[in-house]
Amino acid sequence: MRMEKQRKGVRLVLLPLPFQGHINPMLHLANILYSKGFSITIIHTTFNSPNPLNYPHFTFCPIQDGITTQSDDSSSLNLLHLIILLNIRCVTPFRDTLAKVISDARDNKEHVACLVSDGLFYFTQGVSNTFELPRIALREGGASSFVPFVLFPLLIERGYIPIQDSQLEETVTEIPPLKVKDLPLIDTKEPEKYYKELSNLVEGTKASCGVIWNSFEDLESSPLSYLRQEFQIPFFPIGPFHKYSFSHSPSSSSSSSSSLLTQDQSCISWLDRHKPNSVIYVSFGSLAAITAAKFLEIAWGLASSMHPFLWVIRKGMVIDDGKECLDPPFPAGFIDNLQGRGYIVKWAPQQEVLAHKAVGAFWTHCGWNSTLESICEGVPMICMPFFTDQKVNARYVSSVWKIGVQFEGEVKREEVVKMIRGLIEGNNKEGSQIRERVLDLKEKARVSWNHGGSSYTYLDALVNFILSFEPKR
């Protein structure tokens, strides 16, 4: 992307939610806005804080959040508690820091035009109101997964929620083709708190002056259209963020600069030794946990497929008898019997991996970033969602866009083999059609962020929208 002349005196304040899947897109967005000439201040929590050294062109302001352990971020079971805590504990330090940023900007003859905050940081709407500062919400997830959040009160009223086991396979007639089991819930003993957080998210987003989406029109035109009608505020689907490239910073186009986990680059050399479209890449994101029994089914399925695989196994990803396994619980001799067909890393440079010619399929948890990155590289998906929006994303991948396959029940090694061979070998009609469709979406994504495309056009509209905010006298 062409770097535009700095718009002297116009500063934007951004606040990311401190999780891997939220920090990355916010920092990508910061680079996009910087390339349009805006000065950028990142206010961030001390928990899971980004590294300012990777972004010398931004100003970073840490705030105390009272969360001290990285382990709090280790599983979905703690996610609800963490989001509630952050929205309580960050109010005062954020307000004080924002006041200083605005004051310093005024002293330097700058104008803080607006706040861009993560949609899940809904407390920021009230704070921005006190400063009469426009707030734009960032939705890192897809529009399709946000629709059920908006409809939650109706879904509760009509008996879909709480979910009954007898209803799991039923279609939610208000949001086809979602099934009841696809609704974006988490496993919690406090469902009322979760429902309240969703209400806060939706109402906080509606109260904002606009929404930025890490998506593009050709992918999600229908849910975006529905949400526009519901919210009646400007929408800016300018994604995919990670495909914009810049000249102002060597690190700005690299996911490694914003990763909270250390990426193992050795896997790229391993991929270099394999034929095009021959490797299955397996990664379940930064939060999901699986049982030891499921781990073994996955392992034996990968081995039995006889295809090479690159598998990301995070520390603590596997749970056995309620405890995290310090090391992956492979059966004795398992790795040796693979004869080099498998490569294990604790974290991978995912965008680089998916762009590698050797990768022929992606076995994913269907987090939005992973889904979008796979689409942008034309890689078919095997979907194994765990919680919240992942389940909606997986249904769209398998049943709406039809660019992947999904496990509908328990993961069995025989089904693993069948899915991998169907996508990698492409020797059946379904597999070849899936590959054709995902390559078509890859091209539509490419068109969207280039000159004249929908995301390119919406980005121009976003810049003009921000410039319309007049300084307070």
Residue that is written with structure tokens 């990301």 in the block:
312
- Output phi, psi for 123, to 5 deg: -60, -20
DSSP E strands in 286-325: the ranges are: 290-291, 309-312, 318-320, 323-324
**What pLDDT sits at residue 251?**
46
Structure letter (DSSP) for residue 2 = P
Q: Would strands 318-320 and 323-324 be described as parallel, antiparallel, or unpaired? A: antiparallel
Burial label, 217 (beta-carbon count in 10 A; 0-12, 13-18, 19+): buried
* 8 Å CB contact between 389 and 287: no
- Output phi, psi for 235, to 5 deg: -115, 145
**What pLDDT sits at residue 186?**
86
* 8 Å CB contact between 65 and 88: no
Burial label, 437 (beta-carbon count in 10 A; 0-12, 13-18, 19+): middle
The contacts found for 167-173 with CB under 8 angstroms, 24 or more apart, are: 172/148
* 8 Å CB contact between 249 and 31: yes
> How far, in Å, CA of 415 to CA of 41, rounded?
49
Amino acid at 168: L
Alpha-carbon torsion (416, 420, 421, 426), positive or negative: positive
Structure letter (DSSP) for residue 398 = I
- The tokens for 223 are 């849910």
Structure letter (DSSP) for residue 342 = E
- The tokens for 186 are 């988490």
**What pLDDT sits at residue 3?**
57
Amino acid at 383: C
DSSP 21-60: HHHHHHHHHHHHHHHTT-EEEEEEESTT---GGG-TTSEE
3-state secondary structure of 394: helix
Residue 389's nearest CA partner among 373, 367, 412 is 367
**Which alpha helices (H) appear in 108-158, and where do they start and end?**
123-130, 143-150, 152-157
Residues of each domain in the chain carrying CATH 3.40.50.2000: 10-258+448-467, 266-446
Peptide bond into 162 cis (omega under 30): yes
Four-way CATH pick for 266-446: 3.50.50.60, 1.10.760.10, 3.10.580.10, 3.40.50.2000: 3.40.50.2000
Structure letter (DSSP) for residue 346 = S
**What pLDDT sits at residue 44?**
98
Helices 454-467 and 429-449, axial angle in degrees (round to 10):
40
> How far, in Å, CA of 403 to CA of 399, rounded?
8
Fold exhibited by the domain 10-258+448-467: Rossmann fold (3.40.50)
Instruction: Please list the pLDDT of the chain residue by residue as tens digits (473 residues).
Output: 555 666 768 999 999 999 989 999 999 999 999 999 999 999 999 999 999 999 999 999 999 988 865 444 434 447 889 999 999 999 999 999 999 999 999 999 999 999 999 999 999 999 999 999 999 999 999 999 999 999 999 999 999 999 999 999 999 999 999 999 999 998 888 899 999 999 999 999 999 999 999 999 999 999 999 999 999 999 999 999 999 976 545 444 455 556 778 899 999 999 999 999 999 999 999 888 999 999 999 999 999 999 999 999 999 899 998 889 988 999 888 888 898 999 999 999 999 999 999 999 999 999 999 999 999 999 999 999 999 999 999 999 999 999 999 999 999 999 999 999 999 997 788 999 999 999 999 999 999 999 999 999 999 999 999 999 987 65
Instruction: Name the pTM for this structure.
Output: 0.94
> How far, in Å, CA of 350 to CA of 352, rounded?
5
